[in-house]
Structure 1
Amino acid sequence: MKKIFECANQYVRDSDWKDLALLKLCLCAMGIMIGLLIPKEKRKYPFLVAGIIFVATYIPLMVKFVKIAAKTFCPEKNS
């Protein structure tokens, strides 16, 4: 398992934002396809779980992005 994480870290280091955007679009498309396989009457629980996971992951990602953006656009305030 450690080797898999090493490979994943190296992939991210070797990638630019376009590669990561393509990866995210790919995963989004896969999620949509999986979601379409769930019967309509049973979609409430998976939708709720996906919403919770989205919020729980989006907030830390955006906090990190805002910190980086603040350092980039206002370097004098972050010294």
Structure 2
Amino acid sequence: MKKLLNLADRYLQQSDWKTIALLKTCLLALGITLGALVPSKYKKTAVAAALPLFFVTYLPLMAKLLRLAMEPAEGEEDTL
């Protein structure tokens, strides 16, 4: 498992935003496909499980983005 995590770290270090966007789009398509395969009687249960997971992962990601947006980028002066 440690080798797999190290590989993931190396992959991300060598990727740019376009690669990450492709990865996220691929995972979105997989999620939509799997969601479409859930039998209708279990769809509410699937949504009830997925929605909290979405918020638990989305909120820290957006908090990090906002922190980065508030600090000046390297090599840039604060012009405000």
**Structure-1-length-normalised TM-score:** 0.88
Cα distance in 2 for residues equivalent to 1:4 and 1:48: 30
* Identical counterparts, % of pairs: 41
**Are 1:36 and 2:52 counterparts?**
no
When the two chains are superposed, the root-mean-square deviation of aligned CA atoms in Å is 1.3
- Tell me what 1:52 maps to: 52
Cα distance in 1 for residues equivalent to 2:72 and 2:16: 17
Cα distance in 2 for residues equivalent to 1:27 and 1:55: 17
Cα distance in 1 for residues equivalent to 2:46 and 2:72: 38
Q: Secondary structure at the match of 1:72?
A: coil
Shift of 1:41: 1.8
Shift of 1:42: 1.3
Shift of 1:72: 2.9
Cα distance in 2 for residues equivalent to 1:26 and 1:72: 32
Unmatched 5+ stretches in structure 1: none
